Amino acid sequence: MTQFDTAKAFFEACETGKGWDGCTPFCHEGAGFACQADALAEITTLAAYAEWMKGLLTPVPDGRYVLTAFAFDEARGTAVASAVFHGTHSGPGGPVAPTGQAVASDYAYVMRFDGQKIAHMTKIWNDVQALRELGWA
């Protein structure tokens, strides 16, 4: 499996709520995570982020992504994916009772490799806009 294939498999596993168990084969143990968004400020590992994504699909059970681009920079050992997350707060959980409001939120993943596995991922995302659309802020 190439690094590009690994990045695509990780993206699919993470975005469909497979949690850390589903993402582990593609990542180094202790892989780092960063995001300049208050909603994810406390999350510093890719394992914790994968579990957060899994948990998001409880209040937003129809959560899904539409991939807009996927590229690999071989010289830097980095994959970049951009997508739009779509879903409606119709399930239990979240900061408030189900709002019935929908979200369409743009985001990007920058996945840095060490060897054949992801060592660190940065998420680029406007959490304030997304939370407002869901009625959570």
Q: How far is CA 117 from the centre of its chain?
A: 17
Residue 14: per-residue pLDDT = 98
Q: What are the boundaries of each domain within the chain? A: 3-134
Nearest 5°: the CA angle 130, 30, 14 is 40
Nearest 5°: the CA angle 110, 112, 113 is 145
Contact status, residue 72 vs residue 41, Cβ threshold 8 Å: no
**Strands, sheet with 102-114, edge to edge from the N-terminal-most edge strand:** 27-35, 117-125, 102-114, 78-88, 64-73
Three-state secondary structure along the chain? CCHHHHHHHHHHHHHCCCHHHHHHHHEEEEEEEEECCHHHCCCCEHHHHHHHHHHHCCCCCCCEEEEEEEEEECCCCEEEEEEEEEEECCCCCCCCCCCCCEEEEEEEEEEEEECCEEEEEEEEECHHHHHHHHCCC
What does the pLDDT look like over 5-64, one tens digit per residue?
A: 999 999 999 999 999 999 999 999 999 999 999 999 999 999 999 999 999 999 999 999
Residue 94: per-residue pLDDT = 86
The pLDDT confidence band at residue 124, using thresholds 50, 70 and 90, is very high
Distance CA 30, CA 132 (A): 32
Give me the count of residues in the chain: 137
What does the pLDDT look like over 65-119, one tens digit per residue?
A: 999 999 999 999 999 999 999 999 999 988 999 999 999 999 999 999 999 999 9
CATH of domain 3-134: 3.10.450.50
